[in-house]
Amino acid sequence: MDGVEEREAEFDGKAAAKLVKELRQSFSDGKTKGYDWRVGQLKSLAKMLAEKEEEIVEALRQDLDKPAMESFIHEILLLKEANSLALKKLKQWMKPQKVSSTAATYPSSAEIVSEPLGVILIISAWNYPFLLSLDPVVGAIAAGNAVVLKPSEIAPATSSLMKRLLAEYLDSSAVRVVEGGVAETTALLEQKWDKILYTGNGNVGRIVMAAAVKHLTPVVLELGGKSPVVVDSNVNLKVALKRIVVGKWGCNNGQACIAPDYIITTRAFAPKLVETLKDTLEKFYGEDPLESKDLSRIVNANHFKRLSRLLDSDKVADKIVIGGQRDEHALKIAPTVLLDVPQDSLIMTEEIFGPLFPIITVEDIRESLDIINSRPKPLAAYLFTSDKKLEDEFVKSVSAGGMCINETVLQVGNNNLPFGGVGESGMGNYHGKFSFDAFSHKKAVLRRSFAGEVSARYPPYTPGKMRLLRALVKMDILGIILALLGWRRA
């Protein structure tokens, strides 16, 4: 361990190259490819989650002042479920998938073999620093790869904890953590990887993709965007707003890539929505939400200033209808709702990633579809309605990474669904079996015996062989038999 710590204390391009070489050697030796190694690592992760829960919760509290309930539900529990599913299904996932043969390859058998890609780089985010780091690590290990994890330096307590715990519980010859900021990330991106998964914003995503192009490295980019929530007037408003509030402010106080970013509702319905939203927020977070223990703080001063800039913009400063209170020293911003904000305002053109919640009003709720589709494709889209026709239209016409109807954010809690973006909100996906697939190559394997030889496939090419080929194309079984016999049909 001393050698590892020394190398990473002075982590540059040379150290990064050495690290990748060491992990590639472990992979080449076949260490990570066997079922027993994969299962052993996943069991060690399960043990770590069981034994170190309090330390994980404390690290998240230090980084984000995250409520213990949120830390357990959104990070620890989701990771436990992902790891448990991988342990339960791994043997099935690793089993070659039999597929049908075709007339052109008869007699033969065919299958798809999942093989590990090699050495994986995972660059994680700060808002769910534990889950977004280790959920893809579960998939990479399950698929039989060696892994380097680069946690976010913006969540230093969690980053440091993961470095220590993974060195303690996992095989350090195949799984490593590299801490640091831009310099360390740059050094890592200079290396050749077999796949890179990055979670974060589009600007850095472009840098990651540009670096990957140099080595033709495939990437999974989990980015963000402005996730809309459309609220029809025919809903159970109290239930709808409880689900919207917990999806917005109950997820890191809005600092979540899938948190609702803005609301679209009708002009006539907006006053009732705002009034009910105000009551719901007060019930959840009290009359002074800055004092609430159930709201995370803003991650750092830079993000606090960024959110304040959005809020203080000339176009929206007078649009606040709920909240607006701020405490710069404590890095707290109350849940803040703004009504009828201009669509060209900063708050509507930049991803908010915080507790600010603008509302756009329209005359007819179906206008919301045009507004959403005029913008970059979001990571998530939400609709609350009792109108089945509108629901079907929303699912068919809105392109988003994922969506919920009459709910928010719960799509990520189902490991049978892929999680990923589309367009500017990302590319590729993971979760559950999709994580295993994301870090595997699907290798086509066709098997034949030395029997079943047909001379018609070999030169010299004759008219009779051409007739056989045409019969095969038409799947004309009688014609194939006649052609093989050299006969013509009348």
405-434 burial, b at 16+ Cβ within 10 Å, e below that, comes to: ebbbbebbeebeebbbbbebbbbbbbbbbb
Q: Which helix (H) or strand (E) is 339 found in, with range?
A: strand 336-339
CA–CA separation, 145 vs 32, rounded Å? 6
Give, as one character, the DSSP assignment of residue 413: G
CA–CA separation, 174 vs 154, rounded Å? 25
CA–CA separation, 178 vs 15, rounded Å? 11
Q: Nearest Cα to 63, choosing from 334, 331, 357?
A: 331
Q: Supply the residues annotated as catalytic.
A: 222, 257
Retrieve residue 221's tokens: 């980019």
Neighbours of 342 (CB within 10 A): 15
**Bridge partners of residue 150, in order along the sequence:** 123
Query: The tokens 């985010």 sit on which residue?
Result: 125
CA–CA separation, 27 vs 346, rounded Å? 47
Measured in degrees and rounded to the nearest 5, phi and psi for residue 74 equal -85, -20
348-384 burial, b at 16+ Cβ within 10 Å, e below that, comes to: beebbbbbbbbbbbbeebbebbebbeeeebbbbbbbb
| 486: region left, alpha or beta (phi > 0 left; psi from -120 to 50 alpha) | left
**Bridge partners of residue 381, in order along the sequence:** 403
